[in-house]
Amino acid sequence: TIREKAMALLFLPALARMAVCGGTHGNELSGVYVVQEMERQRKEKGEGVWPIPVTTVLSNPRAVKECRRYIDTDMNRCFSRDTLSSPITDSSPYEVRRAQELNNLLGLKGSTDAIDLICDLHNTTSNMGLTLILCTSSDWVTLHICKYLQTKITKVPVRVLVLDFPISDAYSLESVSKHGFTLEVGPQPHGVVRADIYIIMKEAVDLTIDWIHKFNSGTVFEGGDVETYMLIKSVDYPRDPETRTLTAAIHPQLQDKDFCLLKRGDPLFLSFSGETVNYEEEETLHPFFINEAAYYEKGIAFQLAKKMMLTIPAVRVQKD
């Protein structure tokens, strides 16, 4: 039974090396400053500052310098197996080159040499608190770290969002590592660093290092249930059919209500001339990435998820 599976103890390999990556999107500043602060700490206190080896990476230095999301193309869509193996020419986008560099540094993706865990730091203009985004629902290590963060962080909601891609199609940076997740914290405007958001992100990174150290040291992490949200689909803004310009904004009653329960008849949009557009579907779902700045160009006003409980087994490190 599921209950017995949860009680079983799984022995898993130690996590020898992890990477903390910031600035994958150059205008998401909390991650940039967390990486900067970790590099300062290492300079001040030496390599032993953390109980495990941590590689720090500023993922998209050119975009960080210009304080833009990207130079040529969204880098966090460049880590699919196809893009990572595409030949580089003079006309290759900067981010495709840089993604291949990062794959050489932290991968190779899908190989035994790949780094054990990438924690990729992101911000959103949506009111998503701390959201941990995973590409798969079957990685016990990552789900245990999520459970640990959900237990330890109480100042903001900690939610787990599962996209469930096949790894070869997964296009985000953390898909290069064996385990790994995106750490998404908001609301924070792009191009701004807010101390409250920075502090939550730094705490989540410190707790991730903490979990890995405890795991490597032989701590048994009990199994149990983890509440997750599974991505179902994206919803675009109402747009002018000819110009494609927005004709409505997120409705004030939906704005900032990420992960609420959306029911038939609830308001979604308020047009610029004052009309309300309601949610018309029967299925109750949870909206998130509500009014994320970077998703206007992707045609996404918000995404919808289904809540799902995952049962994970107890885990312990393998003895050598």
Q: Which residues here bind its own copies, judged by CB under 8 A? A: 33-34, 36-37, 40-41, 67, 125, 187, 189-196, 198-199, 245-246, 249-252, 255, 270, 272-273, 291, 293-294, 296-297
> Which of residues 100 and 126 has its CB atom nearest to its own copies in the complex?
126
- Active-site annotation holder among 184, 280, 292, 297: 184
Phi-psi sector, 169: left (phi>0), alpha (psi -120 to 50), beta: alpha
> Which of residues 278 and 296 has its CB atom nearest to its own copies in the complex?
296
Place of tokens 């290759």: 92
Give the CA distances from residue 30 to residues 20, 74, 75, 252, in Å, rounded to whole numbers and listed in that order: 12, 18, 18, 27
Edge to edge, the sheet with strand 267-271 lists 248-250, 267-271, 276-278
> Which of residues 62 and 306 has its CB atom nearest to its own copies in the complex?
62
Q: Is 184 a catalytic residue?
A: yes
Q: What angle do CA 237, 258, 60 make, to 5 degrees?
A: 80
Q: Which residues pair with 57 in a beta bridge?
A: 21
Least spacing, CB of residue 279 vs its own copies, in Å: 16
**Is 25 annotated for ligand binding?**
yes
Least spacing, CB of residue 73 vs its own copies, in Å: 15
Task: Count Cβ atoms below 10 Å from residue 302 Cβ, excluding itself.
Answer: 25
What's the CA gap between 61 and 202, in Å, rounded? 20
What's the CA gap between 258 and 248, in Å, rounded? 18
> Which of residues 145 and 294 has its CB atom nearest to its own copies in the complex?
294
Q: Which residues pair with 280 in a beta bridge?
A: none
Cα radius of gyration (the chain) = 20
Phi and psi angles of residue 17, each rounded to the nearest 5 degrees, phi first: -150, 140
What's the CA gap between 250 and 269, in Å, rounded? 4
132, 159 contact by CB (below 8 A): yes
Give the CA distances from residue 250 to residues 185, 256, 268, 283, 299, in Å, rounded to whole numbers and listed in that order: 20, 10, 6, 20, 13
> Which of residues 135 and 201 has its CB atom nearest to its own copies in the complex?
201
**Is 190 annotated for ligand binding?**
no
Least spacing, CB of residue 250 vs its own copies, in Å: 6
Least spacing, CB of residue 300 vs its own copies, in Å: 13
What's the CA gap between 248 and 276, in Å, rounded? 9
Least spacing, CB of residue 232 vs its own copies, in Å: 24
Tokens of residue 170, six digits: 């997964």
Least spacing, CB of residue 102 vs its own copies, in Å: 22
**Is 28 annotated for ligand binding?**
yes
End-to-end Cα, the chain, rounded Å? 30
Which residues are part of a known binding site? Answer: 25, 28, 122
What is the set of active-site residues?
A: 184
Which residues are part of a known binding site for Zn(2+)? Answer: 25, 28, 122
